[in-house]
Amino acid sequence: MKYAQTRQVMAIAPVIPVVVVSDAASAVEIARALVAGGIRVIEVTLRTEAGLAAIEAIAQQVDDICVGAGTVWTEAQAEQAIDAGAEFMVSPGIADDVNAVAQARDIAYLPGAQTVSEIAHLKRQGVTATKLFPASVVGGPAAIKAFASVFPDLVFCPTGGIKEDTARDYLALDCVPCVGGSWLVSADAVAGGDWEAVRLAAERAVALSDS
Ligand SMILES: O=C(O)C(=O)C[C@H](O)[C@H](O)COP(=O)(O)O
């Protein structure tokens, strides 16, 4: 069971941008803008029809970015995402079937958890890194501190409700190598094709790791 890859993905940038795309072409533009701003990782959610095609297009057309699939709930989705070129997978909650695929295919995986019991379940499955979702609702940095006290060997990627101005509070915790968030790629920027706004948001996100 190898989960070292998950921590490698979490070490790429202080933020894993979570994107919801409506077409593969704009996904490629988004990924290029993120790379131009210094963020070399992207989580494309499978919440839209275009998600898989977007992962494939980014994997084939954008250099120097680690592309992953988000909102992965089923074994079939996991297999399809990996076949499309996903290098990591993320689920908002526990999805044991997806975890089994991640282990069988030796790919980085960040399953979500909300409670101590869910984190304990994931730990029993061999998971050493979890997405905490929705982080702001679950209790923010204070909650993560409390979770970390009973799971000192785990790391967290809090996601959900985190913005540019609150990310630093999470990243200040030793057990939080990165956060996830959709704020870098706003719906307005995508609708207007404003890739420069995405690049600038990525640049500001990189700066979050400066102490
Ligand atoms: O689709 C998934 O797999 C999710 O778990 C949900 C996303 O991670 C959140 O939508 C990001 O949260 P926001 O930054 O608050 O928008």
Four-residue CA torsion sign, 52, 56, 57, 58: positive
- Written as one letter, the residue type at 210 is D
| Per-residue pLDDT, 211 | 61
* Residue of 29, 79, 123, 131 marked catalytic: 131
Task: Give the closest residue (by CA) to ligand 1 atom 10.
Answer: 160
- Integer distance in angstroms from the first to the last C-alpha of the chain? 34
**Which tens digit of pLDDT belongs to each residue from 56-109?**
999 999 999 999 999 999 999 999 999 999 999 999 999 999 999 999 999 999
Which domains, from first to last, does the chain contain?
4-205 (3.20.20.70)
Nearest atom in ligand 1 to 20's CA: 1
Q: Give CA separation, 141 vs 48, 50, 80, 103, 153, in Å.
A: 30, 33, 34, 29, 17
Tell me whether residue 75 is one of the annotated catalytic residues: no
pTM given for the model? 0.96
Please spell the DSSP secondary structure of 98-122, one letter per residue: HHHHHHHTT-EEE-EE-SHHHHHHH
Q: Find the catalytic residue in 2, 29, 43, 203.
A: 43
Shortest-distance atom of ligand 1 to CA 71: 3
Burial class (CB in 10 A: 0-12, 13-18, 19+), 38: middle
- Whether the CB-CB separation of 55 and 69 falls below 8 Å is answered with yes
CA of 99 to the centre of ligand 1 (A): 19
Give the neighbor-by-neighbor strand order of the sheet with 66-70. 108-110, 88-90, 66-70, 41-45, 15-19, 179-181
Is 43 considered catalytic here?
A: yes
Predicted pLDDT of residue 1: 38
pLDDT (tens, 9 = 90+) of the chain, 211 residues, equals 346 799 999 999 999 999 999 999 999 999 999 999 999 999 999 999 999 999 999 999 999 999 999 999 999 999 999 999 999 999 999 999 999 999 999 999 999 999 999 999 999 999 999 999 999 999 999 999 999 999 999 999 999 999 999 999 999 999 999 999 999 999 999 999 999 999 999 999 999 987 6
| ipTM rounded to 2 decimals | 0.94
